[in-house]
Amino acid sequence: MSDILRELLCVSEKAANIARACRQQEALFQLLIEEKKEEEKNKKFAVDFKTLADVLVQEVIKQNMENKFPGLEKHIFGEESNEFTNDLGEKITLRLCSTEEETAELLSKVLNGNKVASEALARVVHQDVAFTDPTLDSTEINVPQDILGIWVDPIDSTYQYIKGSADIKSNQGIFPCGLQCVTILIGVYDIQTGVPLMGVINQPFVSRDPNTLRWKGQCYWGLSYMGTNMHSLQLTISRRSGSEIHAGNTGSEAAFSPSFSAVISTSEKETIKAALSRVCGDRIFGAAGAGYKSLCVVQGLVDIYIFSEDTTFKWDSCAAHAILRAMGGGIVDLKECLERNPETGLDLPQLVYHVENEGAAGVDRWANKGGLIAYRSRKRLETFLSLLVQSLASAETQT
């Protein structure tokens, strides 16, 4: 299993190289954008783009994993269709060829004969990448390959990727928007139980060299299987203890409540925002990208990522869910949490990744229908949920 995770880390780095290469030349980048077809669109966005970078990344991950682990490819699922239509109206199915020259030739058809761009992209696609991690290298875990499924989001936060803002300032370490919010997400789950087992989040755009203007990235991973839990942040110290008291709140109930922080979507419902403000005070941060918001929880920048809509999908959450499980956390269904009676002692409703939504079509088959909450500590989540439910109930009685 650690062999599979090691290979996923390598392909995620190769994917990050492709994402960075596609952003280096603006003229090239404009060639790579195609509006998604109706059935592929996320209903949250009026215009939803797929980029050649998206599809290339997805196909590179699929092909590399198939080469190293024959048979695994049929269990790799992604957000993007690999079909493109060029200016001549030709439909081209993009795939990774066995040689750099053949890939360049195929890319040239998608890019309407742009030979320079095609060759440059093919070079990056076929470049070997090495990735080492001492923690992972010292571990050998075996799991049957035939129980594994993989969800891939090749470039999460495509809008931020297309926009390409490079000079956004962070708010207490959290970027509201910009290239830092772009992530490559690879989540591995058990196809029989739907439980997430391994996750890789690659953040291609973390810091930029002021002289060369070239970006460097960062990779995070986690593994949770049969009692073994490991992750890439094991050697880092938590940014804050779990027992802080919120000094900003007044009133008998709030004065003794633990300090909570949350990251949310800018499109979050007003009722949730209002309830959160009563629980978290001013420690609520808006950010772009489901993958990036989950990463903020992984990094310990916030306690909670909460989203009440049904416009995130299995490929958005699986990678972070696996990493958070390795840390003692998880991702749960928000709607079910709010309806649950904690006194019954029922387990938290963790998201699972192997079952389609009944009666749904297109991408909605794989939507996280009840919304979600990502967390690092179960104990803090239980306290947070209790306060959130109280806050929502008190708001209802006042209306």
Widest Cα–Cα separation across the chain = 70
- Structural element, H or E, at residue 74: none
Residues forming the annotated binding site for Mg(2+)? 79, 153, 155-156, 316
The whole-angstrom separation of Cα 378 and Cα 304 is: 11
Give the pLDDT score at 309. Answer: 92
Give the pLDDT score at 393. Answer: 83
- Structural element, H or E, at residue 239: none
Specify the DSSP class assigned to residue 283. Answer: -
> Which sequence positions are flagged as catalytic?
54, 79, 153, 155-156, 158, 316
The whole-angstrom separation of Cα 127 and Cα 60 is: 11
Judged by DSSP in three states, 277 sits in helix
The whole-angstrom separation of Cα 29 and Cα 103 is: 18
Alpha helices in 37-168 (DSSP H): 52-68, 100-110, 115-125, 134-137, 158-163
> Please, how many CA atoms are within 13 Å of residue 287, restricted to the half-sphere of its CB?
34
Residues paired with 223 in a beta bridge: 198, 230
Q: Which two tokens stand for residue 302?
A: 């916030």
Q: Which two tokens stand for residue 175?
A: 């970027």
Q: Which two tokens stand for residue 18?
A: 């492709």
Mean pLDDT, each 10-residue run in order, the chain (399 residues) = 85 91 70 55 44 83 89 85 74 85 88 82 87 76 87 92 90 96 96 96 94 92 92 61 36 50 92 90 93 96 95 96 96 91 75 93 92 94 91 73
Residues forming the annotated binding site? 79, 153, 155-156, 316
Sequence-separated (6 or more) residues with CB below 8 Å from residue 157: 181, 182, 183, 288, 289, 290, 291, 292
Tracing tokens 């928000």 back to the chain, one arrives at 334
DSSP string, 189-227: EETTT--EEEEEEEEEEEEE-TTT--EEEEEEEEEEETT
